[in-house]
């Protein structure tokens, strides 16, 4: 359910605006409408926050998964000092790493030539003997003309090295001139040793900072909230003596807000959300449906405030799509074990664990009905009990039940089209029920779409499976639906019927294209069949590869093929769920509902960190 919002306005004396924001932040009720304001102070806070984030990230990375350190509590002032000190150490670490990389390059360059004093080369140049050193490939070296005199030196890595006396190589020669370091190999190695020691000390000091991580993270949260606070405070609309702010709050929080406002002597007003407003969306899921929230969080999708909450239908169809795409009861068992592991580790049934439980159960059921256990026909043949669970007409191994493969595949495809037609028809019905209380005449267009979709389903069956239909009757029904959409699609509350019809006629071609799109939307559900069959075929291929490795040491390789192959197939199945299963909900179904998923999540202004 999308929670109804109220728009709230608060007016206070400018001198009291900061105390008002503190009280409002502690309550955590209002989703503020004001735009953040950036000035020098907020930029400084952001800079400190970024520095602190970098320090926390580096210390966490260096400490890794070592034994947990007993945490030492620091005051905010001490946190700031520690952050600055560790930021300096981080810069020192970076400088040392760059110095070590440069020294190693120099050492690698000089190592083939031994330890000599580069100052002697400088002395030779000053005395008129100008040496130039180059590296180049063997091919380029062989291509040098006989008129170019050079000294052949020990190779540097995979490249040849030469020296010229008194002249530079012409630009046409593909060679890289080497610039000798100022000191010899021995001194470079000594510097490298000292730099490595300094780096080790620096890294060790940074690792010891793990004892401050809890305090630093708390300080990070304070900085984040302080920045938000300052941006809002600086961005509040105001005159000389008064300042005001606007935002949105759920209707069931109105009483709490009014109590807070009266207790702090704020002037306030509460209005209904207008058409020009852009309220946030707060979704409260029905009991048992909230397990779908992790999917929405990963996708980052939020319905618009005036759109429908389809979380219940999304969960039902997503579960079915997941089961059909993964399609294997054996894989479902793996998901079940994963859910149990998450459950045990967290010591409670988390939302994610419950979602995986549901998805794994659905996959096991679908895989049992189709007789698919790790894509193996042998498992089904040797366990007669599993055969009793199979519906022969949709089995992946129909020959075991006396049914030909084409009949079974056609049945599954027909089921996919039925699922698509049901989901798209449901979208039309939901639109009708949503519009009926508002006496919105455009609901007749949704009825038209429903009529057209049901008729187009028959066309799909005829084209894909070959089910005979009376084309004249079916296309007459599609035409009726099309006319209803044209005449009523642009109607709405307050829109004159004649004007709505004229506008609908003006969009005749667009409606025609949308009708074709409705046909393709139903066809789109065949992806459930195609991807599911592909998953089975891949599993069978790996099983066949492994079965040929059934003796001696080859058995180990066969087991490896099974593990790696089915793991890859499982991963591809999950990716397919994202690509195809989610798409059918967010594009085909949501598109028929008229949803655009342009909502902004309800995020009340909150200040929960302790004040500095």
Q: How far apart are CA 246 and CA 243, in angstroms?
A: 11
**What's the pLDDT at 317?**
95
- The pTM of the full predicted model, rounded to 2 decimals, is 0.79
What is the Cα 382 distance to its own chain's centre?
A: 42
Q: How far apart are CA 401 and CA 524, in angstroms?
A: 30
Whether 576 has a pLDDT exceeding 50, the answer reads yes
Cβ contact 134:178 at 8 Å: yes
Digit-coded pLDDT (tens) for 53-71: 999 999 988 887 656 778 8
Whether 601 has a pLDDT exceeding 80, the answer reads yes
Q: How far apart are CA 235 and CA 237, in angstroms?
A: 6
Torsion of the alpha carbons at 91, 97, 98 and 101, rounded to the nearest 10: 180
Cα four-point dihedral sign 24, 29, 33, 35: positive
Q: How far apart are CA 396 and CA 369, in angstroms?
A: 9
Digit-coded pLDDT (tens) for 515-543: 899 999 999 999 999 999 999 999 999 98
Cα four-point dihedral sign 362, 366, 371, 373: negative
Mean pLDDT for 509-514 is 89
Alpha helices in 327-441 (DSSP H): 329-346, 351-370, 377-382, 384-387, 405-435
**What's the pLDDT at 67?**
65
Q: What is the mean pLDDT of the chain?
A: 89
What one-character-per-residue DSSP string does 545-564 give? HHHT--STTHHHHHHHHHHH
How long, in residues, is the chain?
A: 612
Whether 75 has a pLDDT exceeding 60, the answer reads yes
Q: What number of other Cβ atoms are within 10 A of residue 66's Cβ? A: 9
Digit-coded pLDDT (tens) for 224-262: 888 888 888 887 777 778 888 999 999 999 999 999 999
**What's the pLDDT at 197?**
94
Choose the weakest-confidence range: 45-59, 106-120, 397-411, 414-428. 106-120
Instruction: Report residue 611 as tokens.
Output: 């004040």
User: Which of 199, 341, 246 minimizes the C-alpha distance to 6?
Assistant: 246
**What's the pLDDT at 257?**
92
User: Which of 384, 367, 383, 382 minimizes the C-alpha distance to 330?
Assistant: 367
Whether 333 has a pLDDT exceeding 80, the answer reads yes
**Could you tell me the pLDDT band of residue 612, with boundaries at 50, 70 and 90?**
very low
Torsion of the alpha carbons at 488, 494, 495 and 496, rounded to the nearest 10: 100
SS (H, E, C) 158-204: CEEEEEEECCCCCCCCCCEEECCCCCCHHHHHHHHHHHHHHHHHHHH
**What's the pLDDT at 611?**
52
> Which CB contacts under 8 angstroms, 24+ apart, belong to 608-611?
608/26, 608/28, 608/221, 608/225, 609/218, 609/221, 609/222, 609/225, 610/218, 610/222
Whether 272 has a pLDDT exceeding 60, the answer reads yes
Give percent of the chain above pLDDT 70: 99
């Amino acid at each position: 359910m999308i929670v109804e919002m109220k728009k709230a306005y608060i007016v206070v004396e400018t001198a009291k605006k900061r105390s008002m924001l503190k009280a409002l932040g502690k309550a955590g009720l209002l989703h503020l409408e004001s735009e953040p304001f950036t000035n020098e102070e907020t930029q400084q806070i952001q800079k400190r926050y970024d520095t602190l984030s970098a320090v926390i990230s580096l210390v966490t990375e260096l400490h890794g998964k070592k034994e947990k350190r007993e945490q030492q509590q620091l005051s905010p002032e001490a946190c700031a000092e520690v952050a600055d000190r560790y930021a300096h150490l981080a810069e020192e670490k970076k400088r040392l790493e760059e110095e070590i990389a440069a020294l190693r390059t120099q050492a690698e360059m000089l190592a083939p030539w031994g330890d000599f004093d580069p100052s002697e080369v400088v002395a030779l140049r000053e005395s008129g003997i100008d040496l130039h050193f180059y590296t180049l490939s063997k091919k380029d070296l062989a291509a040098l003309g006989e008129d170019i005199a050079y000294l052949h030196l020990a190779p540097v890595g995979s490249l040849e090295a030469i020296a010229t006396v008194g002249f530079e190589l012409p630009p046409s020669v593909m060679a890289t001139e080497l610039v000798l370091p100022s000191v010899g190999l021995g001194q470079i190695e000594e510097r490298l040793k000292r730099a490595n020691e300094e780096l080790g000390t620096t890294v060790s000091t940074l690792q010891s900072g793990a004892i401050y991580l809890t305090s630093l993270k708390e300080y990070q949260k304070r900085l984040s909230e302080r920045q938000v606070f300052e941006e809002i405070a600086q961005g509040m609309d105001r005159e000389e003596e008064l300042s005001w702010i606007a935002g949105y709050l759920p209707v069931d929080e109105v009483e709490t807000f009014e109590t807070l406002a009266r207790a702090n002597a704020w002037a306030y007003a509460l209005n209904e959300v207008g058409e020009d407003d852009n309220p946030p969306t707060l979704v409260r899921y029905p009991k048992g449906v909230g397990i779908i929230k992790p999917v929405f969080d990963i996708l980052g999708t939020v319905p618009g405030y005036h759109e429908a909450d389809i979380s219940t239908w999304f969960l039902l169809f997503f579960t079915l799509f997941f089961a059909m795409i993964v399609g294997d009861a054996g894989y479902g068992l793996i998901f079940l074990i994963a859910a149990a592991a998450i459950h045990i580790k967290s010591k409670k049934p988390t939302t994610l664990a419950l979602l995986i439980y549901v998805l794994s159960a659905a996959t096991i059921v679908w895989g049992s009905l189709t007789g698919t256990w790790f894509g193996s026909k042998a498992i089904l043949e040797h366990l007669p009990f599993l055969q009793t669970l199979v519906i022969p007409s949709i089995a992946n191994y129909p020959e075991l039940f006396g049914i030909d493969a084409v009949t079974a595949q056609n049945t599954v495809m027909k089921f996919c089209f039925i699922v698509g037609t049901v989901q798209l028809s449901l979208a039309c019905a939901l639109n009708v029920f949503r519009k009926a209380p508002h006496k919105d005449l455009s609901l007749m267009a949704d009825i038209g779409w429903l009529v057209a979709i049901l008729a187009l389903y028959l066309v799909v069956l005829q084209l894909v499976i070959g089910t005979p239909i009376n084309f004249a009757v079916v296309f007459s029904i599609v035409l009726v639906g099309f006319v209803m959409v044209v005449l009523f699609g642009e109607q709405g509350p307050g829109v004159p019927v004649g004007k709505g019809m004229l506008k609908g006629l003006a969009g005749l071609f667009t409606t025609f294209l949308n009708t074709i799109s409705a046909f393709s939307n139903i066809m789109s559900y065949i992806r459930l069949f195609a991807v599911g069959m592909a998953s089975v075929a891949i599993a069978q291929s790996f099983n066949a590869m492994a079965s040929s490795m059934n003796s001696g040491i080859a058995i180990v390789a066969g087991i490896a093929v099974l593990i790696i192959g089915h793991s890859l197939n499982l991963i591809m199945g999950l990716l397919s769920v994202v690509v195809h299963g989610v798409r059918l909900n967010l594009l085909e179904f949501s598109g028929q509902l008229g949803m655009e998923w342009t909502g902004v999540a309800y995020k009340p202004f909150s200040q929960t960190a302790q004040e500095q």
